[in-house]
Structure 1
């Protein structure tokens, strides 16, 4: 266990904290909990690379922590009526698919593709969409749909990179 992995685990602990603030209608505080989770994501990645502390546990738990927080936010926004169910379903399908696919292939010994710039950009765009939604901007839902489209493009690119990486690995063996 190292500091980057502890930071990743802290993101799991922030999920119920977010839920408490969101469910008590403290939306601005709930949003800042999501931002705090995002900050720990940036920090753990930076520390893991800088200190050479990248671990298989971290590689698996880091995106899982991110996706769990995102799914929690999506469900809470849906339950409160702040986003349409179609947007929630689209985001859920994408995130659940990424979690299930990553776990399925990880446990079959396949290599995973590290986060790329488009994936990181998508995360930033989602955080912006959440900001607009939480602070009730009139264009928030339209912007969210744009981000959902970008996220599906990012996922398609990830799949292509994953297949290419594992094709090279399979060919080399």
Structure 2
């Protein structure tokens, strides 16, 4: 059971996406006034991301399944948060498009590396920083709706990190696949 606890947290995070998306759909047209249960669920989901990663690394509970489940759970959560923000007109479509493009490319590249080498690609530092930037940008959009300069700055920084992390993943894939 202990071995699978990080995986269970990732699965619970994936399940939490449904009520989070529903809560934002039902109550999120006025993103200035988040409902407490949605906020709590988002915070818990984000906390499980940190917790499952810490448990897997520090306690030696990392599994091949967890190396797949964790990033999938992260992508589902972030895409649902930003998808709802896009629906309500709080973020530009280009930001969502870049997120989707990057995530699809990462998944396809990761599958290619796994098939060619048998190794699941590790998380990249710039990818983690980008995820943090995405979360911070979403928080700004959700909780500081009247701060236009802050919105624009956060979105520009996030786009920059989306591009940089995409380049980093591409370089990693090129180096890895060139060795095979």
**C-alpha distance in structure 1 between counterparts of 2:50 and 2:58, whole Å:** 12
Contact 1:31/1:131, CA 8 A, preserved across alignment: no
Runs of 4+ displaced beyond 6 Å: none
Q: When the two structures are superposed, what TM-score results if normalisation uses the length of structure 1?
A: 0.85
Native 8 Å contact 2:106 2:169 kept in 1: no
For 2:171, the equivalent position in structure 1 comes to 160
Gaps of 5+ in 1: none
Match of 2:156?
145
RMSD over aligned CA atoms reads 2.1
Larger RCO (CA within 8 A; separation ≥ 6): 2
Counterpart position of 1:59: 67
Q: Encode CA deviations 1:85-131: one digit per residue, 9 max, x unaligned.
A: 22221222112222233234334444343223322211111111011
Asked whether the equivalents of residues 31 and 130 of structure 1 are also in contact (C-alpha less than 8 Å), the reply is: no
Gaps of 5+ in 2: none
TM-score, length-scaled by structure 2: 0.82
CA contact (8 A) 1:83 1:141 kept: no
What is the rounded CA distance, in whole Å, between the counterparts of 2:118 and 2:174 in structure 1? 10
